[in-house]
Amino acid sequence: MAADQTPDVPGPVLNLLAAISETLEVPSPALDRDAEVAYRLLVEDRIRVVQATIRDVLAGNAKLGIAWEANYLRKRAAERPPTYRTSAQALDELREGRP
């Protein structure tokens, strides 16, 4: 599909797919145990929320609508942002000469 074409998918579904993508997009952890454990826990939590949302939509249990489901995913992701040291932060620290 060309970049200027829009997929033949209803707007609310595109919004939900975007919310799923945003929810699952988390920064890579720094290479230390604490960051890796925190990353894993965050990813597992977000996967559980996304799976529950998909199950509800597919089973017809999204009673408040697909837009509500998308907003719920974004809200849940915002409530639990990454709190670990990321690989980008670790690289910045190395460039600045900090250990």
Would you say the pTM of this structure is higher than 0.85? no
Q: Which residue has the higher pLDDT, 9 or 56?
A: 56
Residues 44, 48, 51, 53, CA torsion sign: negative
Question: Residue ranges of the domains in the chain?
Answer: 11-95
Tell me the C-alpha distance between 29 and 13, whole Å.
Answer: 30
Tell me the C-alpha distance between 2 and 5, whole Å.
Answer: 6
Q: Structure tokens of 2? A: 């060309």
Nearest to 62 by CA among 19, 26, 22, 3: 19
pLDDT digits (tens, 9 = 90+) for 29-87: 999 999 999 999 999 999 999 999 999 999 999 999 999 999 999 999 999 999 999 99
pLDDT at 99: 65
Q: What is the CB neighbour count within 10 angstroms for residue 62?
A: 19
